[in-house]
A and B are shown apart, each in its own frame.
Chain A
Amino acid sequence: MTAEPRPVFSVRGLILTAAVIAVLTLLVGPYLGEANPYASSFHARIELYREKLDSLNRIRGWRDRIYMRHMANLEIPEYLVSKLRPTDTLLLPPIEYGNQFMATKAFWTDPRIFTWMVGFQPIVAWRDTSRRNSANAYVVLEANTIWITRPGGSTNIDSLLAVYEKLGGGK
């Protein structure tokens, strides 16, 4: 179809404009209820940010922005790295173990995400069965508490590994 010339301004054009405004309002507004999938998506993906644009723009540092997105998945690796000793090789627990204590998924237990958050560290993934035995530091989680335990410490490593094994399986 070739484009036909349209009057730039006309009464009919005004009527069409009103119709377009009505369509857009219906589309992104709450008027059609759950029958309208566009409204909730538009609100969650666009309007939510528009409403908070000023306050969000005041938060400039990248660490803060990453924290807002990833919360504990950033904080836990940061904390663990701060407690690592030079001779430590840290065994990351299976995700199922981390999930017990977090509202979101414990992605930090994946070595790639751990590395994305805090750079390369001496870590071993639970799934890495060939290197698992080289670990000499282990993560213990309890409600609101996290620490690194080492052989000879207060935590029984065999019991901890049995919990890992039970939750995460052998691999």
Chain B
Amino acid sequence: MKSDALLLVVTLLMQWVIGLGAVGAIGYRLERKTLLPLSLLLGMFLHSLSLFGAQLAGIPLSLQTMLVSGTVTMLLPLVRFSTVRATLAGLFDVPRIRPTLYDVVIAGFVGYVGYMVVWASWYWPVTPFDAMAGIDLVARYAAKDGMIANQVFTDPSVRGMLSNQPFYAPFAMLMQVMMKLIGYPYTQIWVSIVAISFWWFVWSALRRVVHPLLAGVLLVLFVLTPEMLGYSYILQTDFANAAFFSIGCFILLRAIDEVSLPGMAVAALAFAGACWSRTETPLLVVLVVGMCLPRILREFGAVKGLAGSLGIVAASSTAFALWNIVFFNWYLPQRPSTAEQLRGFDLGRFAEVVGSSWTSVISSTELWGWAVWLFLGVLIVDAIINRRIAQPMLIGMIIATFLGLFLVGTIFSAAIVEQTLRRGMFKVIPLMIVAIAGSGLVSSASSTLYSWEAGRRS
């Protein structure tokens, strides 16, 4: 194995352990199929944060800095060793897998797509304009100069022409820095690792609510979502942002159901990752948590519920502030003109954004396959036949996320419906897919399928 490939494997394993340690230290017990993908994603986030912390402390970016910051982050959770050990007990137990033939077919198909996605992210150089003009350009010179505030922000040839691209995606930029420090100057291979981990996580969320065959088919629909499939190997920040945000939503839902404060802490970590990966996400987090607040207060009680909710908002705000306030004001020689892009709220423009989002983005089967229409279909059928909406909290999260996206489109002049809101939809599609699985209609089909397969009368 070449040394750069070995370093990549070591880095990924380190990030995996970082994530496992973080969840372990928080003390939130999860089944392995959820814990493993979640840990890898959280580990990537925390590692990028620790590398950034090293930079803030004045340590130049280098391979050594990356490995040492990762090692320190990996060791930190050991402060709560007994909690880590208790939470992760059973992690290395021999798995009891009893796959049926159709499980193998679905796993084979998704595995094939996964292989091609990894290959494409390894083979092709960065392609999207936004990434070349922002994330990757900054990352290249950050790795070269040893600092994020590099010549991209000072050289007269580009200094005045930066627009907002180099400023809004620290997670993706730092992951690119890591790839370059490892020895991959042009690749974007981490993007596919994020995609596969996220697919794995969505599959585990589907498996919690529905028959494996239906979970598999819905997973395939999710993986093949036309607009998202390309971004599973092309460098942009939106796929990673969607992964963190959706995971935050799913874990938050679960934490509320289980009345688990550690669960809320893990959700806070995922939401912080989302805010670390895209600037406008705190607004969405506040709306989602606000929507859940009455139920959180009811389940947890006023003090714990409020503490948990504020904790999520605080974690998200901290991730946002570290980059957008601390770094911009005290480290970067140049600031984006975000304030100039802000406009006052205007109801007419809001209605216009909602209308054009629906016609040119949300309703498009070319972009989202059948996901949106299936979601609306099962929602309506559920409402008519069962006279109730299954998973009202999840539906509420979808509505809150849409509301946030529409608000972003209304108050930010730089947010363009066909681009910014289109990629913002990445956050909604996984929620919709799981909402389809949890609907009364699909749940009934799932029960029928279990009975039929086992030869019982339903």
Contacts and interface: CB of A to CB of B under 8 A. Distances in A.
Contacts of B156: 131
Nearest to B151: A120
Given A14-B101, A62-B186, A6 B216 contact: no
A107 B365 CA distance: 29
B186 A41 contact: no
Contacts of B449: 16
B105 A24 contact: yes
A121 interface: yes
Contact of A46 (B113, B134, B155): B113
A7 B449 CA distance: 12
A97 B171 CA distance: 35
Interface in A23-70: 23-24, 27-28, 37-38, 40-42, 45-46, 49-50, 53, 56-57, 62, 65-66, 69-70
A127 B157 CA distance: 11
A128 to B, nearest CB: 6
A128 B158 CA distance: 9
Given A21-B105, A115-B157, A130-B160, A49 B230 contact: no
B85 interface: no
Contacts of B369: 37-38, 41
Interface in B85-137: 98-102, 105-106, 109, 113, 116-117, 119-120, 123-127, 129, 132-134, 136-137
Contacts of B453: 6-7, 10, 12-13, 16
Interface in B131-175: 132-134, 136-137, 140, 151-152, 155-158, 160-162, 165
A116 B226 contact: no
Nearest to B446: A1
A143 interface: no
Contact of A113 (B101, B124, B129, B186): B129
A17 B105 contact: yes
B113 A9 contact: no
A112 B133 contact: yes
A4 interface: yes
A103 interface: no
A49 B140 contact: no
Interface string A103-134: 00001001111011000111111011011000
A127 B160 CA distance: 9
Given A20-B213, A38-B226, A1 B443 contact: yes
B205 to A, nearest CB: 12
B212 interface: yes
Contact of A1 (B155, B210, B229): B210
Interface residues of A, number: 55
A41 B229 contact: yes
Interface in B430-454: 443, 446-447, 449-450, 452-454
A41 B365 CA distance: 11
Contact of A8 (B98, B126, B152): B98
A17 B101 contact: yes
A41 B105 CA distance: 21
B455 A128 contact: no
Interface string A62-83: 1001100110000000000000
Given A1-B446, A6-B212, A8-B99, A116 B161 contact: no
A49 B106 contact: no
A116 B140 contact: yes
Contact of B186 (A20, A45, A65, A124): A65
Contact of A124 (B152, B157, B230): B157
Task: List the 4 closest A-B pairs by CB distance, nearest first.
Answer: A41-B226, A112-B133, A17-B102, A17-B101
Given A12-B453, A66-B186, 18 more contacts: A3-B212, A5-B98, A6-B212, A9-B100, A16-B213, A17-B100, A24-B109, A27-B220, A28-B224, A38-B224, A41-B224, A65-B123, A69-B124, A70-B125, A107-B132, A115-B137, A123-B157, A131-B156
Interface of B: 98-102, 105-106, 109, 113, 116-117, 119-120, 123-127, 129, 132-134, 136-137, 140, 151-152, 155-158, 160-162, 165, 185-186, 207-210, 212-213, 216-217, 220-221, 224, 226, 229-230, 365-366, 369-370, 443, 446-447, 449-450, 452-455
9 contacts: A1-B446, A6-B100, A6-B454, A16-B453, A37-B226, A38-B224, A45-B226, A112-B132, A113-B129
